[in-house]
Amino acid sequence: MRVLLVEDYPPLQKSVAKGLREAGFAVDVTGDGEEGLWYATTNPYDVVVLDLMLPKVDGLTILRRLRADGRPCHVLILTARDTVADRVRGLDFGADDYLVKPFAFEELLARVRALARRAYRAKNPALRVQDLRIETPTQRVWRGKEEVHLTPREYVLLEYLAMRAGEVVSRMDIWEHVYEFNAEADSNVVDVYIGYLRRKLGRPGKPPLIHTVRGRGYRLGGGE
């Protein structure tokens, strides 16, 4: 899941980005409204965490432009403005959620997760594909009754595929939603991680979970 964090207060930017990354999100960060708007309109973010008071372009303007462009990303406003009028205005501008500073990081994380789920029309925090079970809040994965231990990068990839279970997911989609903007541009990385996942999830005698659709990408479950 790819997240854009637009926050101009350096300590907050640093800690929130770190926490989100550790929770398995691909996080792009900027402290500048203009840059934030450019990031948000050129990348398919699942969730945008948006401060309101920003240099150059303020948060509400970014929000309005995103909605005017028909961007589907889910926006969480993170601000110190706490009056009811402020919250109502933020939500009416097209925000999906509103969190007032200071906040509990756990809560921010849970809200970002909820918005990410909603990006794929999933309401259940537990994902199931055949006998594969993923608990998104704890990031634990089971195949049948046996728990599978994944690295954060493997997990993120699997979660994204599971969110879109049954669909063919292109390498580009994976690239855009799972990896950070600044990450090394090497599309082989996707194939490498798909290989890791196949190895960890494969069970002898059971049908494979991840299918390669030649020329189009990968599909988790479904099909045959």
Partner 1 sequence: MRASLRRRLLGWTIGGMALLLAVFAVVVYAAIERALAGGFDDGLAATAWAIAASVKEERDGIEVEFDEREMPEFRRPDRPAYFELWREDGRVLQRSSSLAESGLDRRESAVGATAFYPLALPDGRPGRAVILRFRPRVEDEQEGEDEREDERAAAPPVVPQLITLVVARETAGLDRSLAMLRWLLVGAGGGTILLTLLVASVVVRRGLRPLDALAARIAGIREDNLSAALPEAGMPAEMAPVVRRLNELLARLEEAFQRERALTADVAHELRTPLAGMRSTMEVALSRARAAGDYQQALRDCLSIVCQTQAMADNLLTLARLEGGQTVLRVQEVRLAELVEVCWRPHAPAVRARGIAYESRLPGDLDVGADRDILAMVLSNLLANAAEHTDDGGRIEIEGRSAGGTAELAISNTGCRLTPEEAAHVFDRFWRGDAARADTGAHGGLGLTLVERGVAALGGSVAVRVDGGVFAVRLTLPSPSAP
Determine which residue in the list 65, 87, 89, 101 makes contact with partner 1, applying CB under 8 A.
Answer: 101
- List all residues 6 or more positions away from 184 whose beta carbon is below 8 Å from its beta carbon: none
Instruction: Give me the DSSP letters along 130-160.
Output: TTEEEETTTTEEEETTEEE---HHHHHHHHH
Task: Give yes or no for residue 85 binding partner 1 (CB under 8 A).
Answer: no
- Smallest gap from Cβ 35 to partner 1, in A, equals 12
- Smallest gap from Cβ 193 to partner 1, in A, equals 22
Buried b (16+ CB within 10 A) or exposed e, 152-178: ebbbbbbbbbbbbbebbbebebbbbbb
- Residues numbered 9 to 28 that lie near partner 1 (CB under 8 A) are 9-12, 14-16, 18-19, 22
Piece of 38-46, 105-113, 141-149, 204-212 that binds partner 1 (CB under 8 A): 105-113
Task: Give yes or no for residue 8 binding partner 1 (CB under 8 A).
Answer: yes
Question: Toward partner 1, which CB reaches closer, 104 or 185?
Answer: 104
Sign (positive or negative) of CA dihedral 56, 80, 119, 191: positive
Query: CB of 218 within 8 A of CB of 161?
Result: yes
Task: Measure the CA–CA gap between 194 and 212, rounded to whole angstroms.
Answer: 10
Print the binding letters for residues 31-70 with partner 1: x by CB under 8 A, - otherwise: x---------------------xxxx-x------------
Q: Which residues are at the interface with partner 1 (CB under 8 A)?
A: 8-12, 14-16, 18-19, 22, 31, 53-56, 58, 80-82, 100-106, 108
